[in-house]
Amino acid sequence: MYEFAVTPAVTQLRRPGVTITEVSQGSLGEELELQPNDRIVKVNGRTVRDYLDFRFQTGGETDLTFHVRKTTGELIEIEFDRDESEDLGLMFEQIMPRQCANECLFCFCKGNPEDARPSLFVRDEDIRLSFLYGNYTTLSSITADEMNRIVEQRLSPQYVSVHATDLRTRAYLLGVDEKRADIFEKLQRLLDNDIEIHAQVVLCPEINDGTILEKTLRDLAAHFPKVISTAVVPVALTRYNTDERLTAVTPEFCRQTIKQVEKLQKEFRKTLGTTFAFLGDEIYIKAGAEIPSRRHYGNYPQIEDGVGMVRSFLNSFEKVVNRGDAVAQREISSATIVTGEMFGPILQEQIDRYNSLNGTKIKVLAVPNTYFGGDVAVAGLLSGKDLLAVRDQIDSDLVIIPSHIIKSDEPVLIDGMRFDALTAAVDLPIYPLDLKGLQQFLSGTPVEKISHTYEWQRNPRNRAAVRHPATV
Ligand code: SF4
């Protein structure tokens, strides 16, 4: 699940062309007198619908003709040639996501508090964003035009929420009729055209588990290597998603799922040479089970979906933990690292080792998520209110929070609280870092020098869609 930087305006969806947002100084675009807010509507006579079309239609072309709608309304034609590798120096508006036509039982939008920031309510279902950012689509309402586009423009891989290959179950989960839920032919067409697929199953106890899960994983594995991998992630219930057809994921359910899927993973490793069906980290943590080894995850094909993130962290933390030079950093000994309740114990164990080897006194604070409630315990969904609720427990000189809890293009937390308001209320320096940034910090890099600390300040024009923070 992913979040968009900007809530789409429906009125903009049908406007032809793509709007320029920036023209680099000294670039070919500047030479052509292109300006921010100009709209490129055609390239070499072909209509441009968005940035992807523009990229596709200009790629490899040296003789180009643009039809450009200027802000005055005037339509002009620009004919030019360029060297093969010459960049135009143009930045474009974000793609406005197409919205889904499903009513999924477990839709994350239903689980949001009403005052959550508006971008969390965008129900995107867009093959372009699937290709660009790994957003999942269900393919249920994909048009013939979109199917053609995936094939023509080679928008591969695509990330597809399959949930179940049993049609009745899939339709039930998506809240649509079986005809709409049936994506067999569409998937087949993509695979026949060598479009690669990463699949996802949101696992709902008593609905798509047990024999239905086994059938789903076997059906998908039959298409390996074009279906590259499948992620199985547990449904997350907040206190707002109270649909009585949904059952909470318990530790016992996780243990049973691990046992069931482990058998299939062994089989797939033997027959396909890959684990193929990967369980979300949350399942292992909830089960109290050991996180699988590095080999299990291969090249971490679904790490952004919270699959293998903990293993990746633990392995890279090994390189950090013995770094004696970290103690040279004065600030390091008095930091508090804030995380969610799920990742808290894992991080605590690593920081304990780090402290004893480096003589530091770094603290880990696992914060309960009262904003979403339910069984939400991931760090990425902590709100400003949750952080303020634990203010009294922080007695260090600086605080590190997970960077994903802040919107990528502006300093706003998930409940709409602004970052500067949080900093003022906590009255301490706060540094948002991702796991990589945290490791840099523990390795001795001064916290203010960690490059992605303030993404919105570094690149305020970044309008790209960003991943939903539903990971560890
Ligand atoms: S596909 Fe389902 S989960 Fe995704 S936005 Fe639509 S209704 Fe929600």
Residue 75, H or E segment: strand 75-81
pLDDT at 266 over 50: yes
Return the minimum-mean-pLDDT range out of 30-44, 136-150, 322-336, 371-385: 322-336
**How far is C-alpha 98 from the chain's CA centre?**
17
Give me the chain's average pLDDT, please.
Answer: 88
pLDDT tens-digit readout, 11-53: 344 578 999 999 999 999 999 999 999 999 999 999 999 999 9
Which residue's CA lies nearest to atom 2 of ligand 1? Answer: 104
At 442, is the secondary structure helix, strand, or coil?
helix
Predicted confidence at residue 326, as pLDDT, reads 54
d(CA 381, CA 66): 44
**Quick one: pLDDT at residue 171?**
98
Is residue 453's pLDDT more than 80?
A: no
**pLDDT at position 11:** 39
Identify the residue whose C-alpha is closest to ligand 1 atom 3.
107
Of 219-228, 302-311, 327-336, 457-466, where does the model show the most confidence? 219-228
> Which residue's alpha carbon is at the smallest distance from atom 5 of ligand 1?
123
At 94 the pLDDT is 84
User: 104 CA distance to ligand 1 centroid (A)?
Assistant: 5
Averaged pLDDT for residues 349-353? 93
CA distance 100 to 125: 5
- How many whole angstroms from 235 Cα to the centroid of ligand 1? 13
Name all residues whose Cβ lies below 6 A of ligand 1. Answer: 100, 102-104, 107, 109, 123, 125, 138
Cα 336 to Cα 353: distance, rounded to the nearest angstrom:
15
pLDDT of residue 455: 44
Ligand 1, atom 8: closest residue by C-alpha? 107
pLDDT in tens, 316-331: 888 887 665 555 555 5
pTM here? 0.88
pLDDT of 430 > 70? The answer is: yes
* pLDDT tens-digit readout, 383-416: 999 999 999 999 998 999 999 899 877 889 999 9
Residue of 123, 141, 203, 237 with the most ligand 1 atoms within 8 Å of its CB, for mutation: 123
Q: Are strands 39-43 and 63-69 parallel, antiparallel or unpaired?
A: antiparallel
- Distance from Cα 160 to the centre of ligand 1, integer Å: 12
pLDDT tens per residue across span 50-82: 999 999 999 889 999 999 999 999 999 999 999
Torsion angle in degrees (nearest 10) through CA of 241, 242, 243, 248: 90
Mutate to test the pocket of ligand 1, among 1, 109, 170 (most ligand atoms within 8 A of CB): 109
Instruction: For residue 6, report the distance from its CA to the centre of ligand 1, in Å.
Output: 18
